[in-house]
A and B are shown apart, each in its own frame.
Chain A
Amino acid sequence: MDRLLHVAPSPHIAGEYSVKKIMFGVILALLPAFATSIYYFGMGALIVTLTAIISCVAFEYLIQKFILKTTPKISDGSAILTGLLLAFNVPSNLPIGIIIIGALVSIGIGKLSFGGLGQNPFNPALVGRVFLLISFPVQMTSWPVPKGFATGYADAITGATPLALVKEGVGNGEKISEMIGIPQHMELFYGHMGGSMGEVSAIALLLGFAFMLYRKIITWHIPVFLIGTIFAFTGILNLTNPEKFADPLFHILTGGVMLGAIFMATDMVTSPMNPKGMAVFAIGIGIITVLIRIFGAYPEGISFAILIMNAFVPIINRYIKPKRFGEEVKNGK
């Protein structure tokens, strides 16, 4: 036979996963939340999201091509995902210029400065978000009131998030049960509240979670441990003084806990490699989030908490090892 045969060591077959499939799987999982954010915030949601995605992809391409002088790899979908997540973490009336700055920071500093996909220690979208929060505190904390397409973009009516309301109220010595303007749990669940675009609808985010579990893109560990920790911690606080500390359901349905737990903390690159490590990571984020919410300067805190725990991931990976086969000799002699 005169044909040239491939000769490579085993295995000779490869599974169905690819980086691209995973990235687009996450993007698909975010679509229900995207749809609800358009439903609640109208044009603004569309403009902000498209701007973020286009500028992230453009920066990725331009920086890789002209500054790093490598072959641009925008087709893997990771820049699209970063753009989408960045958009979901900002208000739907954020000026275009600020979004573009956020995209530049996310891609340029958050991702490419560390060596690109897989090398970055911090979640790029969160790096962008926190940068904007510090640089543009006013624009980043005026949240449009959800009114569908009536919300508008530049002229949106803004209001505080439920968490900010509670924090401010408690700060003024008010009792939670007597505060006005706090949404009911069901409203929170559907997403009828002020907030950043992607964080508002728990049900849409949970749908995405179910999809990612089904496609085996992520495992359940981080979201469940993270939400569970916040629920348990705020639950205990609530029991000690319900007028000072909001109830746990309120806490997990507001302030981006769902978005953070399902989509931001599960970012593969910046989370631990095995379930035990993931549990430690998620519990850490949960505790820090509550501490920031209760004692810190910001009404919500999950973005900071995730970034802080991102920094610990190398240590977690180093010291928390998967259980080796044969470590525990069961029934063995």
Chain B
Amino acid sequence: MLKTFKKGGVHPAENKLSAHAPIVTAELPKVAIIPMGQHIGAPASPLVQKGDEVKVGQLIAQSSGFVSANIHASVSGKVLKIDNAMDASGFSRQAVHITVDGDEWIDIIDRSPEIVKEIKATPEEIIKKVQEAGIVGLGGATFPSHIKLSVPPGKKAEVLLINGVECEPYLTADHRLMLEKGEEVLIGTKLLMMALGVTKAYVGIENNKPDAIGHLRDIAAAYDGIDIVPLKVKYPQGGEKQLIKAVINREVPSGALPIDVGAVVHNVGTAFAVYEAVQKNKPLFERVVTVTGKSVKNPSNFLVRIGTPTSQLIEAAGGVPEDTGKIVSGGPMMGKALKSLDVPIAKGSSGVLLFQDAEAGRRPVEPCIRCGKCVSVCPMGLEPYLLMTYSDKKMWEEAEHERTMDCIECGSCMYTCPADRPLLDYIRLGKSTVGNIIRTRKQ
């Protein structure tokens, strides 16, 4: 029996249309728009000014707090302006706009195609490199990675989990990365293990990627302490808590962090970025992005410089299909619908998804028939129908008591609901209000 998490979960149509499309390097944009807030936490503060010449890999914005991350130029050229631009969240935020000129990289980056296997860095050096390189969780959570590597006093990391689950339908960026950069991903894993001081790492991969499982298994034979774990296909297995449950059968308690059960989770994309940062001196300024959709001419996986406009990638995949009704940054379950195609690719952009008009709208809301399906699919063991009612009636205390804050916003409840009730919309509202109440109470 394949491992998986036990409680809840759904299995939407996988639609991995671009699974066989090798990673292609996307063209450089004419102007790169690099947002300052591409991670959870405080936006970075710009170090460059209008008119400055920058090179690829140059630090252009500095981490501005404990939870924050550095940002580097992804292109070479001249800073056009520092001005607000709309990002995937739909808000206009500060960004550095660079007019592209050539492709000149800073000298210290090792651009040779060789794979550097030998690890010279000490754990401290690894963490420092990860921090300097501006690496954040590339699975979409965008939490600064160096923080997860610095285990707080009193806690102890026992195992490292590498998330190669890619449980969102459509997305294939991690899949391709494991196939094409498997060795690098495992060296990155080794670096992360050293940084954490653990001797055991598991790479969890869903069973719909047998080629990636086989490939990594072959390579992993040469790496002590790294096991490849095939998992049953079930959404949201890529959720940290679900992955930990699936692979090592530990449950992270409500309000606690993975480290509280001795686990640290990083995405395969992050492991690759760590390899590049430590072994190749290359900061994080490009990533793999899947561009896909049922009507998209060539569903593709691109290696994209941060700041490239979404529209350019869609063009490269064959243009916007006639019947497009919605464009989403990320996967269909947790991604964000874009208001504009000028939105630039950021560190957390795993995919661009074009929905046909017919699939784009929501179905009309019907009364709750109390079928309990939302309850049975909730991976956190919550009662979504009830949390929605509490939000609707502004019963915040009750919502908190029923653990609304545990919701991981996976969308399984709303996906399943036969009455098409906007459960997650209401739960999000409840979470933000209850979150505020909890914060004021603590002050």
Interface residues of A (CB under 8 A from B): 1, 3, 5-15, 17-19, 21-22, 76, 116-119, 219, 268-275, 321-333
Contacts and interface: CB of A to CB of B under 8 A. Distances in A.
Contacts of B412: 11
Interface residues of B, number: 74
Given A22-B369, A274-B372, A12 B381 contact: no
Interface in B326-352: 326-328, 330, 332-339, 341
A325 B411 contact: no
Interface string B312-333: 0000000010001111101011
B418 interface: yes
Contacts of B360: 5-6, 12
Contacts of B90: 7
A273 B261 contact: no
Given A6-B361, A13-B332, A324 B428 contact: no
Given A5-B327, A6-B337, A21 B418 contact: yes
Contacts of A332: 250-253, 260-261
Contacts of B355: 6, 12
Contacts of B325: 5-6
Contacts of B126: none
**A10, A327, A329 interface centre (most CB from chain B within 10 Å):** A10
A119 B411 CA distance: 25
Interface stretch (B116-124, B274-282, B419-427): B419-427
Main secondary structure of the interface of B (DSSP, over half): loop
A14 B358 CA distance: 12
Contacts of A271: 370
B415 A269 contact: no
Interface string B237-267: 0000100010011111110100011100000
B383 interface: yes
Nearest to B324: A3
A327 B381 contact: yes
Given A17-B418, A269-B369, A9 B425 contact: yes
B380 interface: yes
**A3, A6, A328, A330 interface centre (most CB from chain B within 10 Å):** A6
A15 B416 contact: yes
B370 A118 contact: yes
19 contacts: A6-B360, A7-B326, A10-B330, A10-B335, A10-B337, A11-B424, A13-B333, A17-B417, A270-B370, A324-B254, A324-B380, A324-B381, A325-B379, A326-B241, A326-B252, A327-B253, A327-B254, A329-B251, A331-B248
A330 B250 contact: yes
**B12, B169, B311, B371 interface centre (most CB from chain A within 10 Å):** B371
A270 B372 CA distance: 11
List 6 tightest A-B contacts by C-beta distance, closest first.
A11-B411, A17-B418, A273-B372, A324-B381, A118-B367, A6-B326
Nearest to B371: A268
Interface in B108-133: none
A332 B261 CA distance: 5
Nearest to A117: B367
Contact of B337 (A3, A9, A22, A329): A9
B371 A325 contact: no
A1 B338 CA distance: 13
Nearest to A313: B370
B341 A268 contact: no
B337 A5 contact: yes
A10 B336 contact: yes
B381 A325 contact: yes
Given A18-B420, A19-B419, A321 B383 contact: yes
Nearest to A216: B373
B281 to A, nearest CB: 37
Contacts of A118: 367-370, 419
